[in-house]
Amino acid sequence: MAEITAALVKELRDKTGAGMMDCKRALAETDADIEAAVDWLRKKGLAAAAKKAGRVAAEGLIAVATAAKAGAVVEVNSETDFVARNELFQNFARQVAQLAVAAERDIEALKAAAFAGNGKTVETELADLIGRIGENMVLRRVARLSVGQGHVASYVHNAVSPGLGKIGVLVALESSAGDDVLAPLGRQLAMHVAAANPQYLDQRSVPAAALDRERAVLREQAGSTGKSADIVEKMVEGRLRKFYEDTVLLDQVYVIDGESKVGKVVEAAAKQAGAPIKVAAFVRFQLGEGIDRPPSDFAGEVAQLNS
- pLDDT at residue 251, as a whole number: 96
- pLDDT at residue 193, as a whole number: 97
Measured at the alpha carbon of residue 174, what is the angle toward residues 172 and 176, in degrees to the nearest 5? Answer: 140
What pTM did the predictor assign?
A: 0.76
CB crowding 259-291: b at 16 or more within 10 Å, else e: eebbbebbeebbeebeeebebbbbbbbebbeee
Could you give the angle at which helices 6-16 and 34-44 cross, rounded to 10 degrees? 50
- For residue 23, give the CATH number of its domain: 1.10.8.10
- pLDDT at residue 285, as a whole number: 97
Q: Is residue 299 part of a domain?
A: no
- pLDDT at residue 45, as a whole number: 64
Phi-psi region of 150 (alpha: psi -120 to 50; beta: other; left: phi over 0): left
Q: How far is residue 172's CA from residue 180's CA, in Å, rounded to a whole number? A: 15
- pLDDT at residue 200, as a whole number: 96
Q: How far is residue 165's CA from residue 64's CA, in Å, rounded to a whole number? A: 9
**Do both 48 and 63 map to the same domain?**
no
Which residues lie below 8 Å from residue 239, measured CB to CB, with a gap of 6+?
A: 218, 221, 222
Q: Is residue 100 part of a domain?
A: yes
Q: Is residue 84 part of a domain?
A: yes
Ordered per-residue pLDDT tens for the chain, 307 residues: 678 888 888 888 767 767 778 888 889 999 888 888 887 876 676 655 555 554 545 689 999 999 989 999 999 999 888 888 999 999 999 999 999 999 999 999 999 999 987 788 999 999 889 888 888 899 999 999 999 999 999 999 989 999 999 999 999 999 999 999 999 999 999 999 999 999 999 999 999 998 888 888 887 777 777 777 778 778 888 788 888 999 999 999 999 999 999 999 999 999 999 999 999 999 999 998 887 665 555 455 445 444 4
Residue 12 has phi, psi (to 5 degrees) of: -65, -40
Q: Is residue 122 part of a domain?
A: yes
- CA 224 vs CA 11, 72, 89, 114, 218: distances in Å: 64, 47, 55, 60, 10
Q: Are 278 and 174 contacting, i.e. CB atoms less than 8 angstroms apart?
A: yes
**Do both 28 and 80 map to the same domain?**
no
Which residues constitute the domain of residue 42? 6-52
Q: How far is residue 204's CA from residue 230's CA, in Å, rounded to a whole number? A: 25
Q: Is residue 26 part of a domain?
A: yes
Q: Is residue 37 part of a domain?
A: yes
Q: How far is residue 151's CA from residue 182's CA, in Å, rounded to a whole number? A: 6
3-state secondary structure 7-36: HHHHHHHHHHCCCHHHHHHHHHHCCCCHHH
**Do both 45 and 76 map to the same domain?**
no
Structurally, how many domains does the chain consist of?
2
- pLDDT at residue 227, as a whole number: 75
**Do both 94 and 129 map to the same domain?**
yes
- Find, among 73, 71, 18, the residue nearest to 41 by Cα: 18
Which residues lie below 8 Å from residue 164, measured CB to CB, with a gap of 6+?
A: 61, 62, 63, 64, 90, 93, 94, 156
Q: Is residue 214 part of a domain?
A: no
**Do both 127 and 69 map to the same domain?**
yes
- For residue 133, give the CATH number of its domain: 3.30.479.20
